[in-house]
A and B are shown apart, each in its own frame.
Chain A
Amino acid sequence: MILDLKGIYKNYKAGDVDVPVLKNIDLQVKEGDYLSIMGPSGSGKSTLMNIIGLLDKPTSGTYLFDGIDVSSQNDRSLSVIRNKGIGFVFQNFNLMPRETALSNVELPLLYAGIKKKQRREIASAALEKVGLADRMKFFPTQLSGGQKQRVAIARAIANSPKILLADEPTGALDSRSGEQVMELFSKLNSEGVTIVMITHEKVVADCANKIVVIYDGELMTLGEYNSRILRRQHGGDVNE
């Protein structure tokens, strides 16, 4: 089991009141899984993503990453897990604007303490894998949105992480580029890369092998979500 979350709660303080954002989340992700987490905005999916990505800590509950209880880890070891265990793909790419595609991909390898020559080789291989072998020396401003996202994916897989964590990876792309990115994800998954992807688009979520929905801070299957929506509509819940 790569991700094993049990009874995760996350509260934010708004003044004196604790606002629950995540309620009793249970989530397991096995090696080779391709999971989509769907949810409307404000449902808590970004918070869940941050917790999975070790950028945020849950208020309560246990989270084992590849068998390691992350709540007992200090800042330094969390950095190491993020570096070697998780590959991030963001909606807005987050590339270093003044660095070439190759240097961007090298960045996590640099933090892993890999020597320059080897870094070059691994980063070049990763860029080849995403089909950008001819764009290595290009700066982000010289690349299209789809190309930028593929550089970001190359960066995410450079350290051969346990899991690829994607937050709305197609959100800033036109549909053609979005499709290319999803094709790339499927290809990577078929090669054994575990993927967890957050999206609010059903078409995108459908690319995954499994879909879960987060709604009002609770995690549920797509079926449970649909029946809940139906119930609400019949109950005349005006808040929805």
Chain B
Amino acid sequence: MLENIMLSLRGIRSHRMRSVLTMLGIIIGIAAIIIIVAIIDGATAQLKESMVGGTTNNVTLSFYEKETSMFWATEYDTSTSGPIPGITTISDEAYNNVLAVDGVDDATRIYGHEDGSQTVMYLGNSAYSNVYGIDKDYFNISSRRLTAGRLFTARDYEMSNNVAIISDTMAGQLFKNEDAIGKTVQIGNELFTVVGVVTKLVDYSEIQNLGDYYMNVGMLESIAFVPLTSWSGVAGYDDIQNIIIKVNDPDKIVSASTAAAEVLNNALPTSEYEYKSGTLTDDADSLKQITDIASILLIGIASISLLVGGIGVMNIMLVSVTERTREIGLKKALGAKRRVILSQFLTESVVLTSIGGILGVLIGIGISKIIGMIAGLPSAINIGAIALSVGFSMAVGIVFGLVPSIKAANLNPIDALRYE
């Protein structure tokens, strides 16, 4: 076997130009597959990161009107009508059920209207902002980090203290260059003492749609947090609670958030409202389908190139068999069994396509790195795709080498010896 491989390599070296041209189809096909997979993997990873929540994998399950899929507070005027009748806060039982959902690592209950319409005022300055009533474990899930002051204490929650943590953006809006800690601000109808300032690292957990995106990331991130227990001071009544879940696997984001929403909805009385994960998770899901279809299509095209490459290999192998008719005849006369001739040509074909495959992988990796650099896409080199490509090119060698090899093995030794 090793002998055959060495023999093949010598043969390939002695016909360098021809071998490279023969391998070209395989090289192009394999390189195309590697590039396509790398780009699609990279693009998908980037999409996931920018749309679904990146490394934090957080999804907010909010309350929507069933029929219109509108955020409840957009439709329902809380300032005049109060809470939606019959709908209460998320119970501990429902919360624990959400925690038990497959893929859910952690969850925290949160109040908030998410419409950016609440005003936070300090002396003459005011900021339109989102105010959230957060639970004790909120900062375990959120990637916001404290930059000044302190977080809420257990005592703050017990006593329903009117304390607030504000985002650095809001601190800039309200206090300019002054120290925010200890200042008193008005949120809703009540006064709150600012105890901490947080900054946002990478956290897209609040983003549910493009509007949120612009509000949170694009333009302003003017946010104030108060303890969950102090929320009634902001909203004036028992409000609808949302929940943020942290999913342990990006691929489970859609399934986990759907399951968690179902758990919450089961605990609700029948109404026109329901918990739903944001629309972006659905978008991400359908985007994934699109990229899946695209990759199947592109890999299909690349496979056709491989097929054509394989036919090229078969063609050259047939030429090679004809060229070496005398050699084959001689070998048979010297006692080479049919199998020996067969394996010699088959090895040559497989060595040829394997070298093509390996070159294709190397070129593919190179090109996808270059494309990644130019387009700013993370190009993910997929080990599975590489192994599959090399395996596939070997298979092409076997499939398309078989006909020429059988032809060689079945040559009649007299005809072969007489061949000029």
Report A's interface with B, CB cutoff 8 A: 50, 53, 55-56, 75-76, 79-80, 82-84, 88, 90, 94, 96, 98, 107-108, 110-112, 155, 159
* Shortest Cβ gap from B146 to chain A (Å): 74
- B21 CB to nearest A CB, Å: 21
Contact of B333 with A88 in the complex, beta carbons under 8 Å: yes
Q: Which residue of A lies closest to B416 (CB)?
A: A55
Contact A94 B326 (CB under 8 A): yes
Report yes or no: B330 in contact with A79, Cβ–Cβ below 8 A.
Answer: no
**Cβ proximity bits B302-336 to A, threshold 8 Å, 1 near / 0 not:** 00000000000000000000000011001111111
In B369-417, the 8 Å CB interface with A consists of 413-414, 417
In the complex with contacts A108-B334, A111-B334, A111-B337, A94-B10 CB distance below 8 A: no
Residues of B within 8 A of A82 (CB): 332-335
Q: Out of B331, B335, B338, B417, which one reaches A90, CB within 8 Å?
A: B417
Task: Tell yes or no: B14 within 8 A of A by CB.
Answer: yes
Q: Are B417 and A83 in contact (CB under 8 A)?
A: no
Which of B337, B340, B414 is A50 in contact with, Cβ under 8 Å? B414
A56 and B334 alpha carbons, distance in the complex (Å): 14
Report the minimal beta-carbon distance from B19 to chain A, rounded to whole angstroms. Answer: 15
- Chain A: minimal CB distance from B326 (Å): 7
Which of the listed residues A80, A98, A112 has the most CB atoms from chain B within 10 Å of its own CB?
A98
Does B336 contact A79, Cβ atoms closer than 8 Å?
Answer: yes
The answer to whether A98 and B340 touch across the interface, beta carbons within 8 angstroms, is no
**Are B14's CB and A155's CB within 8 A?**
no
Whether A94 pairs with B417 at a CB distance below 8 angstroms is yes
Kindly provide the distance from the CB of A46 to the nearest chain B CB, expressed in whole angstroms: 9
B322-362 residues with Cβ-Cβ distance < 8 A to A are 326-327, 330-338, 340
A75–B335 CB distance below 8 A: no
Q: B residues within 8 Å of A by Cβ?
A: 3, 10-11, 14, 326-327, 330-338, 340, 413-414, 417
CA distance A79 to B336 in the complex (A): 6
By beta carbon, the residue of chain A nearest B327 is A96
A-B contact count (CB 8 A): 53
Q: How far is the CB of A119 from chain B (nearest CB, A)?
A: 11
Task: Please name the residue on chain A nearest to B337 by beta carbon.
Answer: A79
Provide the bound-state CA to CA distance between A75 and B326, in Å.
19
Identity of the chain B residue whose Cβ is nearest the Cβ of A165 in the assembled complex: B333
| Interface pairs A-B: 9 shortest CB-CB | A83-B335, A79-B337, A111-B335, A82-B335, A108-B334, A94-B330, A55-B413, A55-B414, A111-B336
Give every chain B residue within 8 A of A55 (Cβ-Cβ): 332-333, 413-414, 417
Interface centre among A82, A112, A159 (most CB of B within 10 A): A82
User: What are 7 of the A-B contact pairs (CB < 8 Å)?
Assistant: A55-B332, A55-B417, A80-B337, A83-B335, A111-B334, A111-B337, A111-B340
CA of A50 to CA of B334 in the docked complex: distance in angstroms?
Answer: 13
Closest to B11 in A: A98
CA gap between A111 and B3 in the complex, in Å: 12
Contacts beyond the supplied A82-B334, A107-B331, A111-B337: 14 A-B pairs with Cβ under 8 Å: A56-B414, A76-B338, A79-B335, A80-B335, A82-B332, A83-B334, A88-B334, A90-B417, A94-B417, A96-B327, A96-B330, A107-B334, A108-B335, A111-B335
CB neighbours of B11 from chain A (8 A): 98
